[in-house]
Structure 1
Amino acid sequence: MIYRKITNAIHPEHRDLELSVITFGAWATGGWMWGGTERSESVRAIQASYHAGVTSIDTAPVYGMGLSEEIVGEAIKGLPRDKVQILTKYGMRWDLAKGDFAMHSKDNDGTDIDIYKYAAKESIIEECERSLKRLGTDYIDLYQIHWHDKTTPIEETMEAVAHLIKQGKVRYAGVCNYSADLMREASKYINLASNQVPFSMVRRDIEDEVVPYCIEHQKAILAYSPLQRGLLTGKIKPGYQFAKDDNRADLHYFSDQNIEKVNAFLEKIKPLANDKNVLLSQLVLKWTIEQAGITIALVGARDAKQALENAAAADMKLTPDEINFISGHLNDLKLVK
């Protein structure tokens, strides 16, 4: 497994933060927006990942309304805490109608809920305590705002996290889904380690501004949905039936026309995967983590088998010519919105 440093320690007593280049993404673990979850399988998947060298786990309170964090806490119980990097988030409330309204949704029981982006100081302090309890730990390695809250000054938000760092409950601060301009503003008040943003072969808009900013200012990019929520595995065919509460069915990426286009592209690069005796998903993941500015890729797994397949992607080799071969075919892929 490859590990990449995402920040340098500011204080002598702090350790640098290094993450496994394939990091376990625990969104689907919470079931929410993914058509449910199976707790015991998720625990085994996380543990299998750890033993394969995937020591970093990314979760969030809103993933299953606390369920994902609880499952992560169960999975890491008994593992050496200083060998596991826990990444979680704050700023998405389903239990408090304050802040910037985000969406109508349903919890895992099918109950209607409203979700708000809210990152005021008192809310962050409360969320941190709840996350620590669910995760079964006394500190979080990387604490990230989930989405920008337009109703709360960034200064207030970042000063709250700085307070948690001073208390020792958080090691480092990160952001998610931030533009370059938002990162500039936040960096006035705290030393940001990273930005977690969507990035995949078919979603590369961050290359315009976010990637250049992060490279220039030495900020890590944590790429989520690198397999475009399963689309880039080649396993999804036109007419695929998603579960009732799986929101992928409403995304343009998963129209029959775009599924056909993506699968045609995957067929073009499949000979390279075959030559290397790897899965298409592993080839896609390796290409992703070799892109400029991309520090790690967050990848979910439903079971231990998938987890081990994801972990193995880090150790395969791709030459510059092979990366260019993939990118060349990718340049011909045009999805319909």
Structure 2
Amino acid sequence: MAERFELAKDYTISRVINGCWQLSEGHSLENSVDKNDVMNAFHMLVEKGFTTFDCADIYTGTEEFLGEFQEQLKHGSTISPNDIQIHTKYVPDIDILSSVDFQYTEKIIDRSLKRLNRDVLDLVQFHWWDYDVPGCMETAGYLHELKQKR
């Protein structure tokens, strides 16, 4: 079993986190990523105790891969979707940073929830492209407000 690390009270992650950036369309070493290969790799990783995954809303396709993986876990696996942790990133579009508002933030978080087949996100990392553009702290506040709302 892979070593675990307590990130917060009642929330542990594998000490090694499975990054999914390389599965993103346009970032893989191949022209296309074979979904069956990805699912097989995910199953192999969690069976060995590496249950924490990192993705992002802008890593095209990765949230969907993890969402499908969770569906597979519901059918015939000894591991439950509740046994894996998914960390994603919220990265507002660089071209609209100055106009990001609560509704936009909520829309992107809801999109991640839908892609990941989750009711709650385990952990959201927030990335702001340009700190010279105002709005970073307000947007961080929107994320906090969404957490409180749900």
| TM over 0.5, shorter chain | yes
> Number of aligned pairs?
140
Distance 1:41 1:89, change over 3 A: same
Corresponding residue for 1:163? 145
How many angstroms apart in 2 are the aligned matches of 1:121 and 1:149? 19
Task: Using the TM superposition, give the Cα deviation of residue 27 of structure 1 relative to its aligned residue in structure 2, in angstroms.
Answer: 0.8
Q: Secondary structure of the residue that 1:63 maps to in structure 2?
A: coil
Provide the identity percentage: 25
Question: Aligned partner of 1:84: which letter?
Answer: I
Corresponding residue for 1:137? 118
Q: Secondary structure of the residue that 1:128 maps to in structure 2?
A: helix
Maintained 8 Å contact 1:120/1:157: yes
Maintained 8 Å contact 1:119/1:149: no
How many angstroms apart in 1 are the aligned matches of 2:46 and 2:128? 28
2:15 maps to 1:34? no
The counterpart of 2:65, out of the listed 49, 71, 90, is 71
Maintained 8 Å contact 1:61/1:131: yes
Corresponding residue for 1:45? 41
Corresponding residue for 1:85? 85
How many angstroms apart in 2 are the aligned matches of 1:85 and 1:19? 7
The counterpart of 1:146, out of the listed 115, 120, 127, is 127
- RMSD over aligned Cα atoms: 2.2
Corresponding residue for 1:61? 57
How many angstroms apart in 2 are the aligned matches of 1:124 and 1:17? 25
- Which aligned pairs between 1:212-291 and structure 2 lie closer than 5 A? none
How many angstroms apart in 1 are the aligned matches of 2:100 and 2:40? 33
How many angstroms apart in 2 are the aligned matches of 1:152 and 1:136? 32
How many angstroms apart in 1 are the aligned matches of 2:35 and 2:100? 29
Distance 1:81 1:119, change over 3 A: farther
Corresponding residue for 2:4? 3
Distance 1:61 1:146, change over 3 A: same
How many angstroms apart in 2 are the aligned matches of 1:135 and 1:148? 24
* Runs (4+) off by over 4 Å: none
Question: Aligned partner of 1:6: which letter?
Answer: L
Corresponding residue for 1:195? none
Task: Using the TM superposition, give the Cα deviation of residue 92 of structure 1 relative to its aligned residue in structure 2, in angstroms.
Answer: 4.2
Query: What is the CA deviation profile of residues 179-205 of structure 1, one whole-angstrom value per residue up to 9, with x for unaligned ones?
Result: xxxxxxxxxxxxxxxxxxxxxxxxxxx
Q: Which runs of 5+ in 1 are unaligned?
A: 9-15, 101-117, 169-337
Q: TM-score, normalised by structure 2?
A: 0.81
Maintained 8 Å contact 1:73/1:134: yes
2:80 maps to 1:99? no
Give the structure with higher Rg (CA).
Answer: 1
How many angstroms apart in 1 are the aligned matches of 2:106 and 2:18? 25
Task: Using the TM superposition, give the Cα deviation of residue 53 of structure 1 relative to its aligned residue in structure 2, in angstroms.
Answer: 0.4
Distance 1:139 1:44, change over 3 A: same
How many angstroms apart in 2 are the aligned matches of 1:120 and 1:91? 13
